[in-house]
């Protein structure tokens, strides 16, 4: 089941990783607060390479394509909302969010004596 969700990323949860039948896996969960008369908080997940591809941060206004999937384990059902597409609507900078500086060149935060080379 696919759907779209629009809102603001209000929290990034700690990244999870482990080993499965198919090898190493990574999962990043995040909380989006919807923009409606009665805002809702929804926990969504991103898996694998999409974590780096989407590069979301707290404060991002996003439009998320979500797939819902339930699985049975030991007689209980577990539902997950996986983000398969994320469009940021504040790509040019938002009210309180400013993107980090480019990491092309090392930045010297202290004196020149702090450099390791």
Residues in Cβ contact with 26 at an 8 Å cutoff, skipping those fewer than 6 apart: 15, 16, 17, 47, 48, 51
Segment 44-61 shows an average pLDDT of: 93
pLDDT of residue 2: 76
Residue 112, helix vs strand vs coil: helix
Q: For the chain, what are the domain ranges?
A: 2-92
Regarding pTM above 0.75, the answer is no
Q: What is the mean pLDDT of the chain?
A: 81
Angstrom distance (rounded) from CA 5 to CA 36? 11
Q: In the predicted model, is pLDDT for residue 38 greater than 70?
A: yes
pLDDT confidence tier of residue 61, bands split at 50, 70 and 90 = very high
What confidence tens digit (pLDDT) does each residue in 66-117 have?
Answer: 999 999 999 999 999 999 999 998 644 444 333 344 444 444 444 444 544 4
Q: For the structural domain made of 2-92, what CATH number should be given?
A: 2.40.50.140
Which element (helix H / strand E) includes 2?
A: strand 2-12
């Amino acid at each position: 089941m696919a759907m779209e969700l629009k809102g603001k990323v209000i929290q990034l949860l700690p990244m999870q990783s482990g080993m499965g039948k198919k090898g190493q896996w990574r999962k990043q969960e995040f909380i989006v607060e919807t923009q409606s008369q009665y805002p809702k908080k929804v926990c969504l997940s991103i898996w694998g390479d999409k974590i780096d591809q989407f590069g979301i941060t707290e404060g991002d206004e996003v439009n998320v394509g979500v797939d819902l999937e339930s699985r049975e384990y030991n007689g209980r059902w577990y539902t997950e909302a996986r983000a398969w597409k994320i469009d940021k609507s504040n790509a040019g900078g938002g009210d309180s969010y400013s993107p980090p500086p480019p990491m092309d060149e090392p930045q010297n935060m202290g004196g020149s004596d702090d450099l390791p080379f």
